[in-house]
Chains A and B, each alone.
Chain A
Amino acid sequence: NAGVTQTPKFQVLKTGQSMTLQCAQDMNHEYMSWYRQDPGMGLRLIHYSVGAGITDQGEVPNGYNVSRSTTEDFPLRLLSAAPSQTSVYFCATGTKQGRADTQYFGPGTRLTVL
């Protein structure tokens, strides 16, 4: 099993560009989430999903969109990239339906917005 995979590993964007960060899991976990991690700020929840077709906002959702059409995939879309979105992005899955509980993280995507 691959666990949680994220692509790309690194990305450089110009201000105003859009892109999608991919996240896929093969653990059949209901719960998936996106975090960003910035120095001194810790991990902050962007969006999460408790199952296919259901998404909700986290702590810092502005500028990001998500959708969950399948259990396996949970892409994160940056609509119009801004330098403030420079960060490391982690996707995570959760073991229990409808609950955060133990989370399994992907390897991360390092995004730089110029």
Chain B
Amino acid sequence: SQKIEQNSEALNIQEGKTATLTCNYTNYSPAYLQWYRQDPGRGPVFLLLIRENEKEKRKERLKVTFDTTLKQSLFHITASQPADSATYLCALELTGGGNKLTFGTGTQLKVEL
């Protein structure tokens, strides 16, 4: 069956360091992968989308990589700040689905002073 896995354990890092979050998937051949940020009590907010033919995508302090051979995406936040503390979700379009996104359970990031 199709499955998306994100580390369920919270990631704690110090301010200024680079945070790296992982999204692994099985039995998918996604055309693209997305990353979202979710703060407590709020809806997810779109951050980045990377397509299957792109190895890397950047936006300000954010960087996403997409390895379709390893079936893995890495999400990096450089020079992390306490304001980056949130839960980060990855999402994939279901194979052949066209209109349906499947989300991972998310990884909570805590950036400490």
Interface residues of A (CB under 8 A from B): 4, 31, 33, 35, 40-45, 48, 50, 56, 58-59, 90, 92, 98-108
Contact = CB atoms under 8 A, between A and B. Distances in A.
A108 B40 CA distance: 11
B11 interface: no
B102 interface: yes
Contact of A45 (B32, B36, B102): B102
Nearest to B42: A107
A10 to B, nearest CB: 11
Contact of B42 (A50, A56, A59, A108): A108
Contacts, number: 61
Interface of B: 8, 32, 34, 36, 41-46, 49, 89, 91, 93, 97-106
A43 B99 contact: no
A88 to B, nearest CB: 9
A105 to B, nearest CB: 3
A99 B46 contact: no
10 contacts: A31-B99, A45-B101, A48-B99, A50-B99, A58-B100, A59-B100, A59-B102, A101-B32, A103-B46, A105-B43
A58 B103 CA distance: 13
